[in-house]
A and B are shown apart, each in its own frame.
Chain A
Amino acid sequence: MKETQITWTGMDLAIEGELTIPMVSLVLKQAGQLLELHAQPDLSVDLSRVEKIDTAGVVLLETLKNSAAAKNIRLHWTRIPAFVDQAMTTFSGKKDSKGTPGPPREASVLARMGNFAYDVGHHLHDLFYLIADTFYYSVQNLTKRHGQRKGEFTNQLVLIGMNAFPIVGLVSFLIGLILALQSAAQLRQFGAAIYVADLIAISMTREMGPIMTAIMLAGRSGSAITSEIATMVVTEETDALKSMALNPVQYVLVPKFYAMTVAMPLLTILSVIIGILGAFVIGLTYLEIGLEPFYNQVVSALFLKDIITGLVKSVVFAWLIVILGAYHGFRVRGGAAEVGKATTASVVSSIFAVIFADSILGLIFYLGQTIDI
């Protein structure tokens, strides 16, 4: 294919060759250079030697005109061949421009701040309603059969709880093992090797167990909740539920909320036990502590308060993951691409929320403790 050329013919320009998709960027580049050097307010462009034109060619001509106008140059097409003229009428986008929005206006800083504040307010408002709905229906569903999906709780319990068990177990075992290994080296120097048991028992129960389980579930179940709900929104399944007088929060979310509330503390307990087992492996092999002294040490180190701390945390984390997962799912608008984005946003925000809540709860429990004394 011959390359399209823009050439000077005296005071005018002429386009020679095809105005088709492969030529568009070439012509735009040439025209850009030519217009750069040009200073007159009017310029004629001879189109008589255009050989072929397609939709992209028509758009190209329009673009040229606009970019010239931006440099205060008026372009005039001259000697337009009949087929080019026809294409320009057929393919010009002008016919139905009523609905298409103009170029986006640059918002002022104040307006943008205002919009931002409005958006944040809007999100908080939606989030608040979602939380209210979730708790309202999760209490109501305990006594009412209507509005829930049969067998869905068990279903979700298996999906969220049972299926997550292997990975949570494995991670907890490794965490216990690593923590024990790291601290053993230090404690051994002081002849305090047996305190590895205390250290791991307390840190697994109060911190690592709940946090690791929550992070695993945020990645596994939080993302699944978001993508399922978001897909339902996009495919109008939530609208269909509403049209059947069913509330999507009640019908879809509440069973997951229940399942999460039950599964998370159970998984956390398992995670703690397996983490301590991991530590015991180090105790046995590296520190040569037997099962009985290790066990006694663990039991004497743990107080009920530690266990309650861990369980309260795990429930709070469960709720954060479900609510944030659902929130990102329900607010999806648009198509399939949005589902992916929502899922990512959900995982990131729920992991952040879990860690943030952990520090707040840590503070609360710590303060509670000091006041006790």
Chain B
Amino acid sequence: MNESRHIVEVSDLTSGYEDIRVLDNVSIHAPSNQITIILGSSGCGKTTLLKHLIRLLQPWSGSIRLFGQEITELDEPEFNTILRKIGVMFQNGALLGSMSVAENVSIPLEQHTDLNDEIIRKLVEIKLDLVELGHAIDRYPSELSGGMRKRAALARAIALDPPLLFGDEPSAGLDPVTSAGLDELILKMRDQLGMTVVLVSHEVASIKRIADHVIFLDRGKVLFCGPLKEARSAGIQKVDDFFSKG
């Protein structure tokens, strides 16, 4: 297989906080134009891995390639060019508290395009409708529920229709109907926009619906990284447990 076909490629990544090791020799990839789900028990290092992918953390060793470029070696302007092709949804939303939902979603549009205000507003409305938050467009993050914050954050992440989307548990804590709606949306973005999606998720039902590729982490190590179908027949105890208990 041609390695450079993968938009995301991590090899031998080892890292942690202070001197506590969290990721241990992690080598994974996410194929382009597919939905990759990172799963694993709470505290195993999924969020940490995502943060490395957008260089919020510095690895102890190893390499991280996005769009074929080694991001640990890029300078800030070069990396910013890559970041503009990526949408990121944080686990707790991380909406700017001093701005309304609409303003939050418009940040990437305002900063990285030269669209006029009217078009930006329209785009913001569309994105918020996609995540079913059209009614909360002018509210402030402190006035939203946890699930609404996550959805607003997702809207912000997809504001620019980025070719690569990272999401940290977008559907955790949502009711099954809204959650299924988000799954639909993510599938549409893959199929209609050709987006590559990398999500952290625990929801077995949702994983079965949308995942093409899964990465299974356990205590900072990779148990499995490959297509969903193979995961279920790989005969790894913890992976089987996960799918049967879900």
Contact = CB atoms under 8 A, between A and B. Distances in A.
B131 interface: no
A234 to B, nearest CB: 10
B96 A237 contact: yes
B94 interface: yes
B96 A232 contact: yes
Contacts of B88: 240, 243-244
A181 interface: no
Nearest to B153: A240
Interface in B181-222: none
B84 interface: yes
A236 B54 CA distance: 13
A23 B61 CA distance: 50
Interface in B1-56: 20, 51, 54, 56
B78 to A, nearest CB: 11
Interface string B107-123: 11011100000000000
Contacts of B80: 245
A239 B111 contact: no
A242 B88 CA distance: 10
A241 to B, nearest CB: 8
A240 B97 contact: no
A108 B83 CA distance: 45
Contact of A245 (B20, B56, B84, B90): B84
A149 B96 CA distance: 12
B244 interface: no
Interface residues of A, number: 18
A240 B94 contact: yes
A231 B92 CA distance: 14
B83 A245 contact: yes
A146 B110 CA distance: 8
Contacts of A150: 110
A146 B84 CA distance: 13
B104 to A, nearest CB: 9
B101 interface: no
Contacts of A246: 107, 111
Contact of A244 (B92, B98, B108): B108
B128 interface: no
A235 B20 contact: no
Interface SS of chain B = mixed
A174 B30 CA distance: 67
A236 B90 contact: yes
B111 A240 contact: no
A147 interface: yes
A11 B182 CA distance: 70
Given A146-B111, A246-B107, A239 B56 contact: yes
Given A236-B90, A239-B56, A240-B88, A245 B112 contact: yes
B86 interface: yes
A228 interface: yes
B10 to A, nearest CB: 17
Contacts of B83: 242-245
A280 B132 CA distance: 64
A245 B204 CA distance: 33
B102 interface: no
A40 to B, nearest CB: 41
Interface in A216-234: 228, 231-232
Q: Which of A146, A235, A243, A246 counts the most B-chain CB atoms under 10 A from its CB? A: A243
Interface in A332-362: none
A99 interface: yes
B95 interface: yes
A356 B111 CA distance: 40
B221 to A, nearest CB: 14
Given A99-B20, A245-B84, A235 B94 contact: yes
Contact of A235 (B92, B110, B111): B92
Interface string A89-113: 0000000000100000000000000
A115 to B, nearest CB: 14
Interface string B152-170: 0100000000000000000
A240 B110 contact: no
Interface string A134-151: 000000000000110010
Given A242-B56, A245-B83, A236 B92 contact: yes
25 contacts: A99-B20, A146-B111, A146-B112, A150-B110, A228-B98, A235-B92, A236-B94, A237-B95, A237-B96, A237-B97, A239-B56, A241-B96, A242-B54, A242-B56, A242-B83, A243-B56, A243-B83, A243-B86, A244-B83, A244-B88, A244-B108, A244-B112, A245-B111, A245-B112, A246-B111
Given A99-B20, A146-B112, A242-B56, 20 more contacts: A232-B96, A232-B97, A235-B92, A235-B94, A235-B97, A236-B90, A236-B92, A239-B51, A239-B90, A240-B88, A240-B96, A241-B96, A243-B54, A243-B56, A243-B86, A243-B90, A244-B83, A244-B88, A244-B112, A245-B80
Interface of B: 20, 51, 54, 56, 80-81, 83-84, 86, 88, 90, 92, 94-98, 107-108, 110-112, 153
CB-CB nearest 3 A-B residue pairs: A240-B94, A245-B83, A243-B88
